[in-house]
Amino acid sequence: MTNHALLLINLGSPASPEKEAVRRYLNQFLMDPYVIDVPWPLRRLIVSLVLIKRPEQSAHAYASIWWDEGSPLVELTRRLQAQVAPRWSHGPVEIAMRYGEPSIDSVLRSLAQRGMKTVTLAPLYPQFADSTITTAVERAQQVVKEDSLGLELKLLPPFYDQPAYIDALVASAQPWLEHDFDHLLLSFHGLPESHIKKLLPKGSRHDLRAEDCCRNASAQERAVCYRGQCIHTARAFAHRMGLPEGKWSVSFQSRLGKNKWIEPYTEPVLDALAAKGVKRLLVMCPAFVADCIETLEEIGIRGAEQFREAGGEELVLVPCLNDNPQWADTLTGLCERLARQA
């Protein structure tokens, strides 16, 4: 046992599907300035209005996918931890959630108390966004500094374009794609366009409405363009699977509010595919590495109902990477690169 820990960080979940637990979770999540990026007074007003009805609606959604063990997202992240732990020889492997429990704060404090000197942070998001990666990393840096924990933090960068990650996606999805299907939809989590635009270099002419927005982008633009990174993942996956153009497409789900979000939106795409005669639709959600409310409920339940009502026959949700052994190998290998660096 050495003193270099690995911390797997995911988004988080309410403690239970009860209304008040969901309210507490949503308040913490939505009050993050990286999630709703407006000044605090306006953010507080917006969130207070959202919290009038949203907790009850979300509680019903969480209840529909809740496991006996608890939150699917947290439980699947724990299962991944169990897979990675024997593969990581430098120290303990722990998990933390940006919102909810176990918190980044409490886990980092525990690791420091156990004598850890270095912690590799592994945000479990293939593509970069401030609202996922930046907020988690800054929270970790803040608690290390404020509590004088003396921990050196290393960071796993986004891995959306890593061949080993694409290979793991292919291996996990292969059993579902071996059966007959009419179309594969790769539905990524959405993001307000403003979240990307504010990170682009001054004077950038980057067009987020273009079908392939990063085709002629600079390295600096590609590094902050969540939409382009999602499209890269989808194209690399389709190429490795040998899927022809027209057999697959990309969309973005989980919009909140009335701001302009990256397109195309998943809901109208489901209707359009059914209208074109697609009967058996497969849906993958490669922005997530663990199944959660956005995959199990939003796509697996509501999306499936919408697709059938629009004239389709069957929507099959392809599971996320979850605790797939090849994914555990890949994740560990990516983190090992950091461990070998001085």
DSSP assignment of 98-112: EESSSBHHHHHHHHH
Distance of CA 146 to the CA centre of its chain: 28
- Distance between CA atoms of residues 132 and 139, nearest Å: 11
- Distance between CA atoms of residues 222 and 219, nearest Å: 5
Provide CB contacts within 8 A for 194, sequence distance 6+.
37, 259, 260
The verdict on whether residue 221 carries a ligand-binding annotation is no
List b or e across 50-80, with b for residues whose CB sees 16 or more CB atoms inside 10 angstroms. Answer: beeebbeebbebbeebbeeeebbbbbbbbbb
Beta bridge partners, 119, equal: 5, 153
Cα separations in angstroms, 14 against 17, 53, 104: 7, 16, 15
- Distance between CA atoms of residues 342 and 326, nearest Å: 27
Report whether 62 contacts 50 (CB < 8 A). no
The verdict on whether residue 195 carries a ligand-binding annotation is no
| 291: nearest Cα among 190, 189, 192 | 189
Residues at the binding site are 189, 294
Residues at the binding site for Fe(2+) are 189, 294
